[in-house]
A and B are shown apart, each in its own frame.
Chain A
Amino acid sequence: MLRITEAVTTEVEKVVHEPWLLAHAWIIPALMALSFVLILFFGRRLPKRGAEIGIPAVVTAFVMSCVAVVQWVQHVDELVEGEGGGGEALRRLGRSLVASGGEGAISIRPITDSFTWWSNGLVKFDVGIQIDGLAVMMLFVVTLISMLVHIYSTAYMEHDERYTHFYAALSLFTASMLVLVIAENSLMLLSGWELVGLCSFMLIGHWWEEKPNTNAALKAFLTTRTGDIGLLLGVIVTFFAAGRTFNLIEINEAALAGKGGHTVWLIGASLLLMGIIGKSGQFPLHTWLPDAMAGPTPVSALIHAATMVVAGVYLGARMYGVFWQGFSIADGGMNAMAIIGAITIIVGACLAFVQDDIKKVLAYSTISQLGYMVLGLGVGAWVGAIFHLFTHAFFKALLFLGAGSISHSGSHHSFDMKKDMGGLRKFMPVTFVTFMIGSLALAGIAPLAGFWSKDEILATAGQSGFHFFQIVGIVGAVLTAAYMTRCVYLTFFGEYRGHGHPHESPKAITVPLIVLAVFSVFSGFANASVLGIEKFVEYVEPRIAFPPVIVPEFETTLAAVSVMVVLASIGVASALWFRKEELGPLRGLTQRNAAARAGYTFLANKYYLDDLYTDGVVAGVKGPLARATYWFNQNVIDAVPNGLGRIVPALGRGLYTHVDQGTVDAAYNGLAKETGQAGGLLRRLQSGQVQRYALLIVFAVAIFSIALMLAR
């Protein structure tokens, strides 16, 4: 049975006490920004080189975020209960039921607070916050992961010479991400977006002494920038389409009302989608993510797994009304968002198979999972996508931090699985167990977190009629399980192939791993629909300016199928990999079989996408286009200056010889000569002889007096 939520129609003005922290939630990013500034100025001189500012700040931010979550939940409960009438049913569903004839819907406005920063008659720039369930959830996730990464980095980055700078950048990043998350209008969101992009650049290139790292940072920045073109244009289009407002709620309302026709929203949504593709690593702009692994592992965990890359998904979720309207998601057909999400899932998963670097495996896995989220948004599974964002943050961060732990203590600072890892389960038990938990969660084994969120997406897809995408999702799950098995095997099983002395990592590293593992296990229960717990639906899903999305029923069949398929995949993969002789009959397949080899090469070269971009796009621009532009510039545009450049010197020379030298200079020289001569003459007056002066005086007096006399 489908339960449909109606777009909220009646607004009940309720005067409800606004919780203080929610109304002043800007304190949380402000705190992190302050931490950034303090670390920047004072960090170096402190005994712990800045960590003693950063860690308390982020811990405070986390505590405040937890309080914010609690307050929001209470706030919603107050509003819902206050409305009375069908309390229990309303409580479960929280929206009107068309089919079941429920009461009028209540809208729960986000708690907003803004001021106009600048306005002229036509445009108004506001600065403000908008706190609702989505915002507090993101606050929680961002501050939690950031806090764990801060603690982790005390051990991981201990001997780094730019330790202080690292912590400053972490603080700045956290502040920017939080700004993005609580932004009330699209411009502020854009600002936060750009800031996190900058921090990403800074942190990827943290070890900029090596050229590949700076290249990676630049690649990340420029690729996301390409997507940002679309984002900026999208912001502008939605501004005009929504009747000259940047306010997100108003934009969504305008979109859902179809204000101004459908086409303008399609354009707006497509442009915004470009931004999402860039930032969230969707195909075809995903190429920067694997290279971003050049940055320190905590950075990869925080930014490129849990928080920044999901900014695109967050954007999609925030402005969902625009996408819903623009891509006609309600109609259930193919739409760009779902397609791109689906392609990304497969692309990412396939590429994860051929990586030797553990971080790259995880990077492609991230790409793939982001594809799930975008797919979820594309098929109308808003809750599913956001829920997956939530759970993914935990287990992906866990996996990355685990990889960091391995590199730190196991493989002697290497991430190469084939060369330097193997058999580490004996030496690093905590890392092993937590990594396994993370992998299982990622693969989607019940009852771990990933299962619940992925299932939500798949169920929605199926129930909305997007069967094709459902199948794609399941295939993706299969592939995920397989490549993670490979990764786990290469890292933890077999014989140790490395050169270091593997041992377990220090507490600062393992404790965050354990915390994240716990979350990976239990966070799924926040919205385990089969158990009747739907916290996300109740509290996170927006109740205002939100399209009528489907909240799927839990389909036991689907769940069972997906789990079984995943288990089967693991089984097959294990069977292939865990044998005495790896891969068994498949060993050396790529050498023997040309087709297989071709396939491998294709994958190993990342579908030649990078080459396409570098040689095709960039070189195409650099080469012919640049040359043509240059020719045009030199011969056409520069014709005038060049012509002038020929005429003017000739003119100048003429002027010089005749006018300047001949006339003007002659005058000057003459004048100078005359002055000199006059000076010579006059010099005789200065004879030094007093009587001579006296004579002059007398002469002057005589002349003067004669003149005076005559004047009478």
Chain B
Amino acid sequence: MLLNQFLILAAILFGIGMYGVLVRRNGVLVLMSVELMLNAVNLNLIAFSARLQETSGQVFSLFVITIAAAEVGVGLAIILLLFRNFRSPDLDEVHQMKG
């Protein structure tokens, strides 16, 4: 197996995740897209870990998973709040900082 293929896959996933972050209106969907990106990163880490025969890459990805989980928890809490305040999950409605 080539290293490249994993990395390119990760890149594609990352890009798709980014597209989702930019485009999706629903806050939950945005969070999902963020998860996509994080997974892409994890894949990268594991691939390199395998290539370099280092376990630290895997340890890292463990941490990433943990943090991602925490982040999802908090993120959803925020989305809930937004939903409560704006009566709608639509992120487009959130433009209080409009210049």
Chains A and B touch each other in the complex, with CB atoms below 8 Å apart: yes
Interface residues, chain A, CB within 8 Å of chain B?
A: 683, 685-691, 694-695, 698
Contacts of A694 in B (CB 8 A): 21-22
Interface pairs A-B: 4 shortest CB-CB: A686-B99, A688-B95, A688-B98, A688-B97
Contacts of B72 in A (CB 8 A): none
Contacts of B97 in A (CB 8 A): 686, 688
B82-99 with Cβ < 8 A to chain A: 91-92, 94-99
Closest to B98 in A: A688
B26-84 with Cβ < 8 A to chain A: 30
A689 touches B94 (CB 8 A): yes
A689 touches B91 (CB 8 A): yes
Contacts of A698 in B (CB 8 A): 18, 22
B98 touches A687 (CB 8 A): yes
A691 touches B23 (CB 8 A): yes
Q: Indicate which residue in B21, B22, B30, B96 contacts A688 across the interface (CB closer than 8 Å).
A: B96
Contacts of A687 in B (CB 8 A): 95, 98-99
Tell me how far the C-beta of A91 lies from the nearest C-beta in chain B, rounded to whole angstroms. 110
Interface residues, chain B, CB within 8 Å of chain A?
A: 18, 21-23, 30, 91-92, 94-99
Closest to B96 in A: A688
Tell me how far the C-beta of B32 lies from the nearest C-beta in chain A, rounded to whole angstroms. 14
In the bound complex, CA of A687 to CA of B94 (Å): 10
In the bound complex, CA of A555 to CA of B4 (Å): 143
Tell me how far the C-beta of A560 lies from the nearest C-beta in chain B, rounded to whole angstroms. 117
Contacts of A690 in B (CB 8 A): 91, 94
Tell me how far the C-beta of A679 lies from the nearest C-beta in chain B, rounded to whole angstroms. 10
Closest to A693 in B: B97
Q: With A687-B95, A689-B95, A691-B21 given, name 8 new contacts (CB 8 A).
A: A686-B97, A686-B98, A688-B94, A688-B95, A688-B96, A688-B98, A691-B22, A698-B22
**Chain A CB within 10 Å, residue with most, of B21, B91, B99:** B99
A689 touches B99 (CB 8 A): no
Closest to A696 in B: B22
In the bound complex, CA of A686 to CA of B23 (Å): 17
A691 touches B91 (CB 8 A): yes
In the bound complex, CA of A694 to CA of B98 (Å): 15
Closest to B19 in A: A698
Contacts of B91 in A (CB 8 A): 689-691
Contacts of B23 in A (CB 8 A): 691
Tell me how far the C-beta of A24 lies from the nearest C-beta in chain B, rounded to whole angstroms. 83
Contacts of B95 in A (CB 8 A): 687-689
A689 touches B92 (CB 8 A): yes
Tell me how far the C-beta of A690 lies from the nearest C-beta in chain B, rounded to whole angstroms. 7
Query: Can you offer 15 A-B residue contacts whose CB atoms are under 8 A?
Result: A685-B99, A686-B98, A687-B95, A687-B98, A688-B96, A688-B97, A689-B92, A689-B94, A689-B95, A690-B91, A690-B94, A691-B30, A694-B22, A695-B22, A698-B18
B99 touches A683 (CB 8 A): yes
In the bound complex, CA of A687 to CA of B21 (Å): 17
Closest to B93 in A: A689
Contacts of A688 in B (CB 8 A): 94-99
Closest to B99 in A: A686
Contacts of A685 in B (CB 8 A): 99
**Chain B CB within 10 Å, residue with most, of A683, A686, A687, A690:** A690
In the bound complex, CA of A694 to CA of B97 (Å): 14
In the bound complex, CA of A689 to CA of B25 (Å): 10
In the bound complex, CA of A686 to CA of B97 (Å): 8
Contacts of B96 in A (CB 8 A): 688
In the bound complex, CA of A686 to CA of B98 (Å): 5
In the bound complex, CA of A690 to CA of B23 (Å): 11
Tell me how far the C-beta of B49 lies from the nearest C-beta in chain A, rounded to whole angstroms. 24
Contacts of B94 in A (CB 8 A): 688-690
In the bound complex, CA of A695 to CA of B19 (Å): 9
Tell me how far the C-beta of B89 lies from the nearest C-beta in chain A, rounded to whole angstroms. 14
Closest to B95 in A: A688
Tell me how far the C-beta of A689 lies from the nearest C-beta in chain B, rounded to whole angstroms. 5
Contacts of A683 in B (CB 8 A): 99
In the bound complex, CA of A683 to CA of B30 (Å): 25
Contacts of B18 in A (CB 8 A): 698
In the bound complex, CA of A442 to CA of B4 (Å): 133
In the bound complex, CA of A299 to CA of B89 (Å): 100
In the bound complex, CA of A688 to CA of B93 (Å): 9
In the bound complex, CA of A690 to CA of B75 (Å): 14
Contacts of A686 in B (CB 8 A): 97-99
Tell me how far the C-beta of A703 lies from the nearest C-beta in chain B, rounded to whole angstroms. 15
In the bound complex, CA of A688 to CA of B97 (Å): 4
In the bound complex, CA of A687 to CA of B91 (Å): 12
In the bound complex, CA of A698 to CA of B22 (Å): 9
In the bound complex, CA of A686 to CA of B96 (Å): 10
In the bound complex, CA of A695 to CA of B22 (Å): 6
In the bound complex, CA of A694 to CA of B23 (Å): 10
**Chain A CB within 10 Å, residue with most, of B30, B91, B98:** B98
Tell me how far the C-beta of A337 lies from the nearest C-beta in chain B, rounded to whole angstroms. 94
Contacts of B98 in A (CB 8 A): 686-689
In the bound complex, CA of A687 to CA of B95 (Å): 6
Contacts of A691 in B (CB 8 A): 21-23, 30, 91
In the bound complex, CA of A654 to CA of B10 (Å): 70
Closest to B30 in A: A691
Tell me how far the C-beta of B99 lies from the nearest C-beta in chain A, rounded to whole angstroms. 3
Tell me how far the C-beta of A700 lies from the nearest C-beta in chain B, rounded to whole angstroms. 13
Closest to A701 in B: B18
Contacts of B99 in A (CB 8 A): 683, 685-688
Tell me how far the C-beta of A684 lies from the nearest C-beta in chain B, rounded to whole angstroms. 9
Tell me how far the C-beta of B93 lies from the nearest C-beta in chain A, rounded to whole angstroms. 9
In the bound complex, CA of A689 to CA of B86 (Å): 14
Tell me how far the C-beta of B2 lies from the nearest C-beta in chain A, rounded to whole angstroms. 21
Contacts of B30 in A (CB 8 A): 691
In the bound complex, CA of A698 to CA of B17 (Å): 12
Closest to B22 in A: A695
Tell me how far the C-beta of A168 lies from the nearest C-beta in chain B, rounded to whole angstroms. 71
In the bound complex, CA of A375 to CA of B94 (Å): 109
Tell me how far the C-beta of A365 lies from the nearest C-beta in chain B, rounded to whole angstroms. 95
Tell me how far the C-beta of B65 lies from the nearest C-beta in chain A, rounded to whole angstroms. 23
In the bound complex, CA of A689 to CA of B30 (Å): 13
